[in-house]
Amino acid sequence: MASHRKSRPVGTRVAGIRTPALATAALTSVALLSQSANAAPADDRPSLEEVEKKVDDLYRQAESATDNYNAAKEKTATQRKQVDTLLDDVARRTEKLNEAREELGSFAAAQYRTGASAPDTATFLLADTPQDYFDQTQLMGRLTNRQKGAVDDYVSEQSATMKKRQEASQSLQTLTETQSDLKTAKATVQKKLADAREMLSELTAQEKARLAAIEKRKQEEAARKAAELAQQQAAAEKAAQETTAPQESTPAATDSSYATKAAKALAFVRVQIGKPYVWGATGPDSYDCSGLTQAAWKAAGVDLPRVTYDQVNAGTTVSLADARPGDLVFFYDDISHVGLYIGNGMMIHAPKPGAYVREESIYYDGESAIHSVVRPA
């Protein structure tokens, strides 16, 4: 006989208590909602790839701002020298003007003692400008040649002194504006670096490890690309040697001259490996990217401009396939980074804040990051 007992509803136990199915469903819904609520903030967080890109962009922007800072700093130094020169000139001219005034005063005193033509020089000294007095030809006619010469000297010196004072005033105003640009550029660099540090500080230890793994893969790919370029360049050089005519001595001489200078630049830059990147630094204890390349080529007797977007125009542009040791490799559309090519697809550069001068593949940030190659001598 079949049982007439009602079957119990299927449920679960919570802390040893059997719960109805409906209650179980409710609890499940609450748990899911709780999980969703807890997961929401995590979903809003950027991925590690996005963090890496954002940090790299901030460092690049900081380098670009550093170039602006370097340019403003260099301009400030030049303008300060100009202002100092103008102020020294004004001081000398003012002294000469005072001497001319004293000479005229001696004439006035002498005329007063003798009672002769006293009003003439006195009128000059009391006139609003020397030209006002000069225009009074009836009075000028009574002056002696010596007095006329003194008046001419005074007028000339006063005109020249006023002109120099105006130039000095304009230069001071320009200097003030440039100093303001310098302050703005410095603040921009500091803000970009602070933002990058803040993003990195928010990563967990596990995320930092994963980020390091991503960076390692990028370096491995960059090394592979560098090896490919080295093979291509070696093949091209071999082919060129086989087809070069013996009588072509002039290019060989030119190549030898460049190689000698490049060797000096490379010898210098290799000694700098391990020194810290510091924005705005030109050595000898630290460098930024353009400060390093400038110092390297200075050691070879070649003066390069201070900033990357000027250095890129300080030589002959060559193709990447024709890059030779000593060439400058520029990066990004805004030409905000530069390294010194050492051959085999490698360079020595001052990478970014927190890093050190090091040898690295020119593909460290991908092939698309390479802007151009310039031979500076």
DSSP string, 284-334: SS-B-HHHHHHHHHHTTT-PPPSSHHHHTTSSEEE-GGG--TT-EEEETTT
In this predicted structure, what is the pLDDT of residue 56? 77
Q: Is 240 one of the catalytic residues?
A: no
Give the residue from 237, 302, 291 showing the smallest Cα distance to 264. Answer: 302
Question: Residue ranges of the chain with pLDDT lower than 50?
Answer: 1-42, 116-122, 126, 137-139, 249-252
3-state secondary structure of 162: helix
Q: Tell me, what DSSP letter sits at residue 344?
A: T
Q: Tell me, what DSSP letter sits at residue 277?
A: B
The amino acid at residue 220 is E
Q: Which of 73, 275, 349, 352 is catalytic?
A: 349
Mean pLDDT of the chain: 76
pTM: 0.60
In this predicted structure, what is the pLDDT of residue 235? 86
CA distance 48 to 214: 9
Give the residue from 77, 59, 131 showing the smallest Cα distance to 306. Answer: 77
Q: Is 349 one of the catalytic residues?
A: yes
In this predicted structure, what is the pLDDT of residue 356? 95
Give the residue from 291, 292, 290 showing the smallest Cα distance to 312. Answer: 290
Tell me phi and psi for residue 284, to 5 degrees. Answer: -85, -10
3-state secondary structure of 372: strand
Q: Is 4 one of the catalytic residues?
A: no
From residue 76, give the alpha-carbon distance in Å to each of 172, 196, 217, 258, 310.
11, 29, 43, 33, 17
In this predicted structure, what is the pLDDT of residue 363? 96
Q: Which of 185, 189, 289, 346 is catalytic?
A: 289
State both tokens at 183: 């302050």
User: Could you give the residue ranges of the DSSP H alpha helices within 17-144?
Assistant: 21-44, 48-114, 118-126, 130-134, 137-140
Q: Which of 337, 352, 371, 375 is catalytic?
A: 337
Q: Tell me, what DSSP letter sits at residue 9?
A: P
